[in-house]
Amino acid sequence: MPAFVERTPGAEVPRQVLRPHAEHAFAAELASLAGQDDRPRPARWRLSPWAVATYLLGGTLPDGTVITPKYVGPRRVVEVAVTTLATDRALLLLGVPGTAKTWVSEHLAAAVSGDSTLLVQGTAGTPEEAIRYGWNYARLLAHGPGRDALVPSPVMRAMAEGATVRVEELTRIPADVQDSLITLLSEKTLPIPELGEEVQAVRGFNLIATANDRDRGVNDLSSALRRRFNTVVLPLPESAEAEVDIVTRRVDQIGRSLDLPSAP
């Protein structure tokens, strides 16, 4: 029988899950950081900006707890990304394949909101409902338009909860669907004209998008949408030694998750 896992932040994940979300796989490190983090935290953040950067870049806490690096690269990249999320600006992680855009976005969401599962996967077939909202048509036909018939998107849920939502492969989403983000990011409001209502983002809401800069010409971002983002370009590893370090760390993490014997 398949194991169904409830999407509740902080919920225990069964051991048979092949790839735990970042907030579960590194729960001990996040808890240690939260316990020793006495710096100011933005509204609804689980950690301070300093602690979020430490979680991604690694370090040793005052009690001796070792935080493993999640991102091996320039410190400035992480600092700009974290600073962006602490403001009302959305974050666009841009880079060629293999520069850890998805990996960084997942860990940023886990450290900031404690939940990396609010996710929109961008494809050529991504509909507008994936960003705005959809409808339960059985309830819609039976009872007419109402909140009970509305199916919120991950973006709508993040706005209501003051959480971080992720949009993967933004440039693969059709241009008209991309543009549904413009008003949402500038006004921090999602209108629901069918009900004469709107959802206003509460403090703590933000959006992290990723895009492959080799996909230029697929569905280029409009200038209006690009202005709503702070863009951070993730570079390739600076040297062969850095690349070996990254691969070694990932092989070790994957091996431990699969209970494989450690390699020499």
**Per-residue pLDDT tens over the stretch 75-104:** 999 999 999 999 989 999 999 988 999 999
Number of H helices, E strands in the chain: 11, 11
User: What's residue 244's pLDDT?
Assistant: 79
What is the structure's pLDDT at 1?
Answer: 41
Q: Which residues of the chain have pLDDT under 70?
A: 1-15, 215-217, 239, 246, 253-259, 262-264
Tens digits of residue pLDDT in 119-156: 999 999 999 999 999 999 999 999 989 999 999 999 99
**Domains, the chain, ordered by start:** 22-257 (3.40.50.300)
CA distances (Å), origin 185, targets 38, 127, 151, 161: 31, 18, 20, 16
CB neighbour list of residue 24: distance below 8 Å, 6 or more residues apart: 12, 13
